[in-house]
């Protein structure tokens, strides 16, 4: 049985646009180590991309479980935007992952492992815990997304800026914009239907452990399966050592992740409005680089 809900928060209006977008990745134009020639970083990003489709399906299921209990019109509308955005993210990452698989990354194997864990494993948990896991992982995706959008050093890990529809960089930037747009939805649904701070903290701690172990183990195995590791061991070792200085592993990012366990935390404590305006403009504004890739939009304000 779900715990009794705490006082439901008032939900402000938010712009959560479902952009039905289609990317394409000409194989000939993507170097094997697409993160600026860095093998370790390429495997980490490929690993994260492999997890997204099944992960996002689970996010959608866990929020949809409570859709009928959301009565506030604004939150109801945002749940629709959240589901729409995550569905397209899953589809586009699947297509990117097929491309990575053809390039030698074990994305399909990781996808199957994640399916087993998220689809079968999460069903053993109460629905309130499934939703709490989604809210915790959404905090991770929003934190990583806003690091990408706001930190030029993080974007430089992709190499020179390329905002065309054929680059991994653009796929991640589009995904980052939408993760930031809907970062509060799963959390607000959780606060509305459950709200237990204890469950929120326990699940966040478990998610942190699983996220770190999964990313490290998955990326390490993928690196060990990569012939480059054996042909160029020193280059690979330097690339692994560089991860320690990655902008994604800085103290401010870790502090922001930990912030989630504060009793009075809310995802919008981290204001990303200016960042979102900037990147919506660059990707989808009057001369946005992705405009010709968008088939339809829904929910745009």
Site residues (CB under 5 A) for Fe ion? 86, 89, 179
| 68-98 as b/e: b if 16+ CB within 10 A | eebeeeebebbbbbbbbbbebbbebbbebbe
Rounded least distance, CB 43 to Fe ion, Å:
20
CB of 82 to Fe ion, least distance (A): 7
Q: Between 86 and 157, whose beta carbon lies closer to Fe ion? A: 86
| Nearer of residues 38 and 111 to Fe ion, judged by Cβ | 111
Residue 210 exposed, middle or buried by CB count within 10 Å (0-12, 13-18, 19+): middle
CB-wise, 38 or 86, nearer to Fe ion? 86
Dihedrals φ, ψ of 19, to 5°? -100, 110
* CB 293, min distance to Fe ion, A: 17
| CA dihedral sign, ordered 192, 261, 203, 271 | positive
Give the number of C-alpha atoms closer than 13 A to the C-alpha of residue 258, restricted to the C-beta side.
Answer: 7
CB of 86 to Fe ion, least distance (A): 5
User: In the complex, what is the shortest distance from the CB of residue 85 to Fe ion, in angstroms, rounded to a whole number?
Assistant: 6
Using the minimum distance from each CB to Fe ion, give the nearer residue, 89 or 155. 89
293 Cβ neighbours under 8 A, 6+ residues apart: 21, 22, 23, 165
DSSP string for residues in 28-73? GGS-SSTTTT-HHHHHHHHHHHHHHHHHHHHHHHHHHTTGGG---H
Nearer to Fe ion among residue 57 and residue 259 (C-beta) = 57
We find the least distance from the C-beta atom of residue 28 to Fe ion, in angstroms, to be 28
For residues 40 and 171, which CB has a smaller minimum distance to Fe ion in the complex? 171
- Considering the complex, what minimum distance in angstroms separates the CB of residue 226 from Fe ion? 27
Apex CA 218: angle with CA 217 and CA 219, to 5°?
Answer: 95
Toward Fe ion, which CB reaches closer, 165 or 186?
186
Please tell me the distance from the alpha carbon of residue 39 to that of residue 228, in angstroms, as a whole number. 8
Nearest residue (beta carbon) to Fe ion: 89
Instruction: Specify whether the CB–CB gap between 65 and 187 falls below 8 A.
Output: no
């Amino acid at each position: 049985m779900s715990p009794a809900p705490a006082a439901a928060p008032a939900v402000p209006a938010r712009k959560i646009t479902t952009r039905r977008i289609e990317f394409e990745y000409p194989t000939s134009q993507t170097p094997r180590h697409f993160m600026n020639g860095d093998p370790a970083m390429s495997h980490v990003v490929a690993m994260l991309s492999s997890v997204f489709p099944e992960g996002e399906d689970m996010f959608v299921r866990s929020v949809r479980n409570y859709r009928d209990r959301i009565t506030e019109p604004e939150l109801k509308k945002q749940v629709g935007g959240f589901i729409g955005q995550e569905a397209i993210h899953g589809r586009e990452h699947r297509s990117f992952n097929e491309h990575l698989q053809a390039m030698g990354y074990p994305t399909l194997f990781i996808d199957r492992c994640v399916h087993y864990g998220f689809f079968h494993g999460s069903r053993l948990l109460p629905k309130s815990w499934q939703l709490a896991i989604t809210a915790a992982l959404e905090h991770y995706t929003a934190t990583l997304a806003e690091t990408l959008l706001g930190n030029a050093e993080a974007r430089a890990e992709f190499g020179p800026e390329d905002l065309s529809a054929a680059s991994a960089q653009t796929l991640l930037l589009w995904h980052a914009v939408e993760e930031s747009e809907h970062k509060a939805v799963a959390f607000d649904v959780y606060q509305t239907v459950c709200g237990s701070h204890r469950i929120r903290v326990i699940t966040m701690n478990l998610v942190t452990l699983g996220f770190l172990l999964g990313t490290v183990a998955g990326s390490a195995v993928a690196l060990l399966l990569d012939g480059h590791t054996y042909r160029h061991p020193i280059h690979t070792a330097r690339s692994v050592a560089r991860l320690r200085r990655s902008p994604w592993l800085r103290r401010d990012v870790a502090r922001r992740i930990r912030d989630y366990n504060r009793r009075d935390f809310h995802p919008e404590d981290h204001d990303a409005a200016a960042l979102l305006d900037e990147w919506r403009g660059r990707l989808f504004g009057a001369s946005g680089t992705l405009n010709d890739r968008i088939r339809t939009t829904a929910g745009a304000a």
